[in-house]
Amino acid sequence: MADLKQVKPEQLSGNAVQKIGTDWMLVTARKGDQVNTMTAAWGGLGVMWGKPVAFVVIRPQRYTYEFVEASETFSLTFFDDSFRETLNYLGTASGRDEDKISKSGLTLAASQDTPYFTEANQVLICRKLYRQTFDPACFIDPAIDRNYKEKDYHIHYIAEIVEAYQR
C-alpha cells in the first residue's frame, strides 16, 4: 500500500453517493489463482449490525459474480477522474472474453489474499456478511422491476469493511 494510508472507515473522505454513483468503483475478487474485476455504480456504504459495511449488487451473469461467490472477501477501489476510461472499459468488457486486468494497465496487489489495484485513491477490503437475491415480490415500487427485463435480479451483498486505505 505504497502511498495509501490505513484509516478507520469513519475517516474515509468523500461522499458515498458521489463516489459510487457518479465516479464509480471496481469490485474485485479472487477465485483460486484467478482475479476478476468489474465496474459498479450501484451500492452503498453505511453501518449494519454495529459494523462499517459496504453494499454491492451484482447481476448473476457477471463473471465477477463467480469470483465474489468463491471468496470470503472482495475489494472496492475508487479512482480519480483520469481512470474514467479504464473504469468504462472494465464495465463493458467481460473477463470471460479477455484478460481485462492486463489490458486495463492497472496494477494488482493484495492485502492478505484480497486483490486490489495500487492506482486507487481509496481501497476498502470487505468481508462478506450477507447475500440475498432480490425478490421481485418485495419491490414496493413496481417500477423497480423495469430494471430486470431478463429477470436477472441482482445478488445483494452486505460486507464488513475490515480495512480501509486512502491517499
Ligand X SMILES: Cc1cc2nc3c(=O)[nH]c(=O)nc-3n(C[C@H](O)[C@H](O)[C@H](O)COP(=O)(O)O)c2cc1C
Binding residues (CB under 6 A) for ligand X: these are 24, 36, 38-42, 57-59, 62-64, 88, 91-96
Q: Dihedrals φ, ψ of 56, to 5°?
A: -135, 155
The distance of closest approach from Cβ of residue 116 to ligand X in the complex, given in angstroms and rounded to an integer, is 16
Q: Which is nearer to ligand X, 4 or 117 (CB)?
A: 117
Contact (CB, 8 A) for 11 and 60: no
Q: Which is nearer to ligand X, 14 or 91 (CB)?
A: 91
The distance of closest approach from Cβ of residue 79 to ligand X in the complex, given in angstroms and rounded to an integer, is 12
Contact (CB, 8 A) for 59 and 41: no
The distance of closest approach from Cβ of residue 131 to ligand X in the complex, given in angstroms and rounded to an integer, is 14
Q: Which is nearer to ligand X, 24 or 79 (CB)?
A: 24
| 158/132 Cα distance (integer angstroms) | 9
The distance of closest approach from Cβ of residue 74 to ligand X in the complex, given in angstroms and rounded to an integer, is 12
| 165/125 Cα distance (integer angstroms) | 9
Q: Which is nearer to ligand X, 2 or 102 (CB)?
A: 102
Name the H helices within the chain. 16, 63-70, 84-90, 100-104
